[in-house]
Amino acid sequence: MYKVVISEWIARIPGLFWLQGADKLRRINPALIERKSRGWRTYKPRGKSGKVLGGIGTVRLPQAEDGYRLVTMSAGHNASSGAPVLVAPEVWEHHRLREGSVIVNGSARWRDMPQKWAALFPVVSDIPRGCLVLDKVDDVDGVEQGAPVQIHPFSIMEYWQDNVQLHDFVYATADSADSDFRCGISRFFEDYRHDRGREGSYLTSADIANPMWDALFANPEDMRFRKAAQLRLIERRVAEAARGEDVVDALLRMLSNVQEATVLKRLSEKSGIPWRRWSQGGSIAEEAGRLVDRAIETERQQALLYAAQFEFA
């Protein structure tokens, strides 16, 4: 290691930034730009989802009970593209490591990520679930302080577009060396969820131990279980947008207009999708999302679209 910077912010999925095809997801159609100001671009929710699915997005995890910390090491001062590093408490304290510390020289070994840490991240094929380890004081030779690091705190926003409930990733870019970055990030997230009449709520916080905005779920693992269908639909909507399609959005728009869950179940059966395989109860919006997700999984989305069009003709 030579001249690598440490950040307490770690990628949403370490390694995703470098996965083949991720760079294409980060190239956003100009039509998805919501506004420009002083050289900055703010993307519409679907544009932000494309960026996050392409590897942009970071979280800050609390240290474990044994004092170990999972942080990022980057040569490019970008936390989203860095490598995960597990740092022992004695190394962290002896070298006074913190956000923006630069390790001038050092060595680290690679190992499988311990399960208690790996469980905090989604599983993606072709991305090794490993990390570097700094567990000896002598692993680090020389430390400088105060380097800027680009971080991208993110969340999932549950929001409304007309009468349709949607879910998309939201992130903001900040320089962690800026003493006021937390206030700026907090202000952006608050404004963004209200902008364009979205009436949004955030499902998770990016800083788990010291949240910068209100969130519906304290535990990201719980959110991934409870909102699994909605998270899959984000990926499918982004993929469709890249192909110039909008079947998912069309289905969500139609199904969100029903008044009773029995209508969704009837449409499901007409489409060849047993309703018991997706229905879990809850709001019409939640059930509609689960039905659309199941239709795509079973390649029955066109059948569901035809059934819905006939029902509402």
Q: Is residue 167 within 8 Å of residue 156, measured between CB atoms?
A: yes
- Indicate the pTM of the whole model: 0.92
Domain map (residue ranges) of the chain: 2-17+57-150, 246-313
Q: What is the pLDDT of residue 245?
A: 83
Per residue in 224-274, pLDDT (tens digit) is 999 999 999 999 999 888 888 888 999 999 998 899 999 999 999 999 999
Tell me, what's the pLDDT at 289?
94
pLDDT for 32-81, tens place per residue?
A: 999 988 778 899 999 999 999 999 999 999 999 999 999 999 999 999 99
Residue-by-residue DSSP string for 145-200: -----EE-BEEEEEEEETTEEEEEEEE--EETTSTTHHHHHHHHHHHHHHGGG---
Categorize the per-residue pLDDT at 172 as very low, low, confident or very high, splitting at 50, 70 and 90.
Answer: very high
pLDDT value of position 52: 98
Q: Find the range with the poorest average confidence among 36-50, 145-159, 174-188.
A: 36-50
* pLDDT above 90 (res 9): yes
Q: How far apart are CA 119 and CA 219, in angstroms?
A: 11
pLDDT bucket at 309, cuts 50 / 70 / 90 = very high
Please list, in sequence order, all residues whose beta carbon lies within 8 angstroms of the beta carbon of residue 246, skipping any fewer than 6 positions away: 240
* Per-residue pLDDT reduced to its tens digit, 284-294: 999 999 999 99
- Residue 39's pLDDT is 75
Pairing of strands 201-202, 154-161: antiparallel
3-state secondary structure of 40: strand
Percent of the chain with pLDDT over 70: 100
Q: Give tens-digit pLDDT for 74-119.
A: 999 999 999 999 999 999 999 999 999 999 999 999 999 999 999 9
Question: Number of C-alpha atoms within 13 angstroms, CB side, residue 152?
Answer: 23
